[in-house]
Amino acid sequence: MQYDVKSYCCQLEFSTKCFHKMANHVIVNSTIISDHLPQTYQRVSENENILVAQYEHTRSVLDMKSNRIKDIVESFDKSQKSVGIYVPAGSSQKINELINDEGYYKFCDYQLSESNDNRYDRTQNECSYIGIAHDSNFPHVKFCSNLNYIAVIVYYYDGDIIRWKLKFQYWNCPIIFEMHRVTYSLAENIVLSCDPQTIDVYTTSKWYLFRYDVKLPEIPKKLYH
């Protein structure tokens, strides 16, 4: 699978083999243990391209440029399910995770361990509910987050179109905003990006890149907790 013009991976029996082409044309080879070919890839900065792999109940983050692997300490019951990892601040020192807990999404926050820089520790005693429920009609989930808000997009493929639903919520505000769209696509791919003032949704067809620019509404201060 090709994640961008310089990064691609293939799945072996219980591991993923990756290749990343550096600016000096050196190819960085890396291998990470995984149950299946990872779907979560993020170009965090000019110096970090990360891939998130899962093996049984262990999630690991591979930096494809440095060939470093950092494990995420198990932080929730095995009955709960991780549905995504996102790096919010332009550096993999800190990561966020979205989990499905009996039909409702929870938000977990991690940072690199002070005692072991190959491991992430959770910053909270408990992951926090965000007020957005899982929708079984939309099996695919992605999310992004920053200091202002969290956004969750759910979607499914219907022939040559993608049906998707975006929900987002400001931190400490009870209002959940929602929008629905149907997009023509043969690529079966969707990308979500959280900027301070906008949420960008990207889908692709054979010849075109579609961008949906969602402007964030202003919320009266009295509605914040």
Band of pLDDT at residue 199, cut at 50, 70 and 90: very high
User: Chain-wide mean pLDDT for the chain?
Assistant: 86
Q: Which two tokens stand for residue 70?
A: 């950092």
pLDDT at 74 over 80: no
Cβ atoms of residues 103 and 133 within 8 Å: yes
What is the arithmetic mean of pLDDT over 87-96? 86
Q: Other CB atoms closer than 10 Å to residue 120's CB: what's the count?
A: 27
Band of pLDDT at residue 164, cut at 50, 70 and 90: very high
Cβ atoms of residues 65 and 22 within 8 Å: yes
DSSP-derived secondary structure letter, 117: T
* Cα–Cα distance for residue pair 182/132, rounded to 1 Å: 21
Question: What proportion of the chain, given as a percentage, has pLDDT over 90?
Answer: 34
Q: Is 223 helix (H, G, I), strand (E, B) or coil?
A: helix
pLDDT at 88: 87
pLDDT at 165 over 90: yes
| Longest CA span, the chain | 55
pLDDT at 224: 57
Judged by average pLDDT, the poorest of 57-66, 106-115, 204-213 is 204-213
Band of pLDDT at residue 90, cut at 50, 70 and 90: confident
Q: Which two tokens stand for residue 47?
A: 């110096």
What is the arithmetic mean of pLDDT over 21-34? 88
What is the arithmetic mean of pLDDT over 43-71? 88
Q: Which two tokens stand for residue 31?
A: 């291998």
pLDDT at 223 over 70: no
pLDDT at 3: 84
Where are the chain's structural domains? 38-132, 135-224
Band of pLDDT at residue 65, cut at 50, 70 and 90: confident
What is the arithmetic mean of pLDDT over 110-116? 90
Band of pLDDT at residue 169, cut at 50, 70 and 90: very high
Pick 218 or 186 by higher pLDDT. 218
